[in-house]
């Protein structure tokens, strides 16, 4: 069978599995819709958390960024992995003990304020919609190449699938669907990596193959070859970085603390029975995530080396089928500037004739390496699993923020449970439509968009959550002021330097040399400063709130979580 047939077959099987799970695990109450009834096992929750966490940015785009940025791309590995550790150790157990469904729910009760809750809802919606834009773009990329449908049509198909199991099953359906999606995405990521590692170095372990010698008997190390190829074309050596230390630090910090403030990941720790189970599931998830994250650098090395060998200074007419197929998607473009019919892939922008989108590297990798058609189809199914699993979690955050925090806890406290459940499903439907629009009109490549979502989470949620847990003197006035200032400053910086608004600006104009992807760390510091300063000049929080803060930090609560 050819690649398209295998892609249709494997994607069809996995989609059928997801829909079947959604029907089997449909939610019948708000508790099941929001937190899967609170009865998910630690292992299942660990797998679901890993799938929720490893989005299209992790599966499709991260290795692509590393392939082109080289050493500089390591900020994504360090930031996202370190951020998960920070979340698991610093925040998740305490939030679980607090016993609330959502991050806005925690902020609303901890800061005893409807205004704080509404601000948190706004922050959650902005973060989630920014994040989901990247996922829907990933869906469109996979559909356009492997199933040979228009990107817009692919996004719409993805919307329908996510809508079905997110609206029907809520968190219960999403959780067990994500368990299946983790199995699909990790198998799809590892199989081609192992194949190519054996093909290039003879080593079946990709993490070791990346640093091994080539399989051709030359004794040359793979990384040395890639360094040589890069410098010959005028690029920096792959193993050397160009970013300033300040920007590397800022991006890594923004990704780390942004992780710890992501509402769709935090809510996963409310789906288990006990605080102890939250810690266990965090540990399982970290191990499961590490499989992909330690393999991504190897995949980037394999893909970049094979790409340069295939295209550099070779006749366009002799390019393999995969090259022409990716050209049709618009994500790979050849412009024969000198008219010689050969592809000039060089660092000099005036002479360079090849434009490559970061997001194709993982997806095209098995094709470039000429692996069997079923492996290529498997990668398509894995990419969709990664994008859809995270999109579903984000849509649930959006729907619960609107139905539970905005409607039930703020606007209509007397709404029935059935009415709240309907509000949640309607909110999810509207959110899917908006997410689809972002997928059709994406603001950038997947990982860049996702990095901005992390910056927004760092700027808004992280200080409010950390101070809410560890500083009992923290009050509503400080939290609200900090969230507003942090969010607005991050949005302003994004609009100015990423989207050329407010007069635009170039990288030379970046404040302190920090890119938009890293500015979330600066906005976070500003949030902390404003929160603490305002708190010093405003009344203490009520004593019962201070008692709650003391209670959630007491280790003796490691049994059944109370509602406090």
Indicate the Cα dihedral angle 510, 514, 518, 519, nearest 10°. Answer: -60
pLDDT of residue 556: 45
DSSP 315: B
Q: What is the secondary structure of 97-156 as a DSSP string?
A: HHT-SSHHHHHHHHTT-HHHHHHHHHHHHHHHHHHHHHHHHHHHHHHHHHS---HHHHHH
pLDDT digits (tens, 9 = 90+) for 528-555: 999 999 999 999 999 999 998 888 877 5
For residue 11, the SS3 value is helix
> Token pair for residue 68?
């082109």
- d(CA 519, CA 487) in angstroms, rounded, equals 11
Three-class DSSP labels, 192-253: HHHHHHHHHHCCCCHHHHCCCECCCCCCCEHHHHHHHHHHHCCCCCCCCCCCCHHHHHHHHH
- d(CA 268, CA 93) in angstroms, rounded, equals 11
Calculate ∠ Cα 438-444-446, nearest 5°: 85
Q: Which residues of the chain have pLDDT under 70?
A: 27-29, 31-32, 34-38, 100-101, 165-169, 442-448, 504-505, 555-564
Asked if residues 72 and 65 have their Cβ atoms less than 8 Å apart, the reply is: no
DSSP 400: H
Return the number of other C-beta atoms located less than 10 Å from residue 564's C-beta: 13
CA dist 480 → 75, 110, 404, 483, 486 (Å): 30, 12, 20, 5, 10
- d(CA 285, CA 279) in angstroms, rounded, equals 10
- d(CA 376, CA 519) in angstroms, rounded, equals 37
Per-residue burial over 256-267, b = 16 or more CB atoms within 10 Å of its CB, e = otherwise: bbbbbbbbbbbb
- d(CA 151, CA 459) in angstroms, rounded, equals 32
pLDDT of residue 467: 94
Asked if residues 65 and 77 have their Cβ atoms less than 8 Å apart, the reply is: no
| Bridge partners for 354 per DSSP | 334
- Domains located in the chain, CATH noted: 3-94+115-557 (1.20.1730.10)
Asked if residues 110 and 478 have their Cβ atoms less than 8 Å apart, the reply is: no
For the stretch 203-207, contacts whose Cβ atoms lie closer than 8 Å and that sit 24 or more positions apart, written own/partner, are: 206/295, 206/298, 206/299, 206/302, 207/294, 207/295, 207/297, 207/298
pLDDT of residue 301: 94
- d(CA 242, CA 98) in angstroms, rounded, equals 44
pLDDT of residue 291: 93
pLDDT of residue 446: 55
Indicate the Cα dihedral angle 462, 270, 435, 256, nearest 10°. Answer: 30
pLDDT of residue 448: 61
- Residue of 205, 388, 425, 416 whose CA lies nearest to 295: 205
Calculate ∠ Cα 22-27-33, nearest 5°: 110
| The length of the chain, given as a count of residues | 564
| Bridge partners for 333 per DSSP | 355
pLDDT of residue 90: 77
Helices (H), 441-542: 446-470, 476-497, 519-536
pLDDT of residue 227: 92
Three-class DSSP labels, 34-86: HHHHHCCCHHHHHHHHHHHHCCHHHHHHHHHHHHHHHHHHHHHHHHHHHHHHH
pLDDT of residue 27: 66
pTM: 0.84
């Amino acid at each position: 069978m050819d690649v398209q047939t295998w892609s249709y077959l494997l994607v069809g099987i996995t989609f059928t599995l997801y829909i079947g799970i959604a029907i089997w695990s449909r939610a019948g109450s708000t508790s099941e819709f929001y937190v899967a009834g609170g009865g998910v096992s630690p292992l299942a929750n660990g797998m679901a958390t890993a799938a929720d966490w490893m989005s299209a940015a992790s599966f499709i785009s991260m290795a692509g960024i590393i392939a082109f940025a080289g050493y500089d791309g390591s900020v994504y590995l360090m930031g996202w992995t370190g951020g998960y550790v920070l979340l698991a150790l610093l925040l998740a157990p305490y939030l679980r003990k607090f016993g609330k469904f959502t991050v806005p729910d925690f902020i609303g009760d901890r800061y005893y304020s409807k205004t704080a809750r509404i601000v948190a809802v706004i922050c959650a919606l902005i973060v989630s919609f920014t994040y989901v834009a990247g996922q829907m773009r990933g869906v469109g990329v996979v559909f356009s190449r492997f199933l040979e449908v228009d990107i817009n049509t692919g996004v719409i198909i993805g919307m329908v699938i996510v809508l079905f199991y997110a609206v029907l099953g809520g968190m219960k359906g999403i959780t067990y669907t994500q368990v299946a999606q983790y199995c699909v995405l990790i198998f799809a990521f590892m199989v081609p990596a192992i194949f190519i590692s054996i093909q290039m170095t003879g080593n079946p372990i990709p993490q070791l193959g990346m640093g091994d010698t080539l399989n051709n008997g030359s004794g040359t190390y793979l990384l040395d070859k890639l360094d040589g190829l890069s410098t010959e074309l005028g690029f920096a050596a792959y193993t050397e970085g160009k970013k300033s230390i300040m920007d590397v630090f800022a991006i890594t910090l923004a990704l780390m603390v942004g992780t710890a403030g992501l509402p769709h990941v935090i809510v996963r720790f409310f789906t288990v029975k006990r605080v102890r189970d939250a810690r266990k599931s965090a540990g399982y998830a970290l191990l499961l995530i590490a499989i992909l994250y330690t393999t991504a650098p190897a995949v980037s090395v394999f893909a970049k080396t094979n790409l340069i060998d295939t295209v550099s200074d070779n006749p366009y007419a002799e390019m393999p089928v995969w090259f022409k197929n990716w050209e049709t998607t618009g994500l790979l473009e050849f412009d024969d500037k000198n008219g010689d019919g050969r592809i000039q892939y060089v660092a000099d922008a005036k002479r360079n004739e090849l434009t490559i989108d970061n997001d194709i590297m993982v997806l095209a990798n098995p094709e470039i390496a000429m692996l069997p058609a079923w492996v290529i189809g498997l990668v398509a199914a894995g990419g969709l699993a990664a994008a859809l699993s995270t999109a579903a979690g984000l849509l649930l955050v959006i729907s619960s923020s609107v139905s539970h925090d905005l409607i039930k806890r703020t606007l209509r406290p007397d709404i029935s449970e059935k009415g709240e459940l309907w509000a949640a499903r309607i909110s999810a439907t509207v959110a899917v439509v908006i997410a689809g629009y972002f997928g059709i009109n994406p603001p950038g490549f997947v990982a860049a968009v996702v990095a901005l979502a992390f910056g927004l989470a760092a700027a808004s949620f992280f200080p409010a959550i950390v101070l809410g847990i560890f500083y009992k003197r923290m009050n509503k006035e400080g939290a609200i002021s900090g969230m507003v200032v942090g969010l607005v400053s991050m949005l302003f910086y994004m609009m100015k330097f990423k989207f050329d608004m407010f007069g635009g600006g170039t990288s030379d104009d970046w404040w302190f040399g920090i890119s938009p992807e890293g500015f979330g760390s600066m906005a976070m510091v500003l949030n902390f400063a404003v929160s603490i300063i305002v708190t010093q000049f405003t009344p203490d929080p009520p004593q019962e709130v201070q008692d709650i803060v003391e209670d959630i930090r007491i280790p003796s609560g490691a049994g059944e979580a109370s509602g406090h």
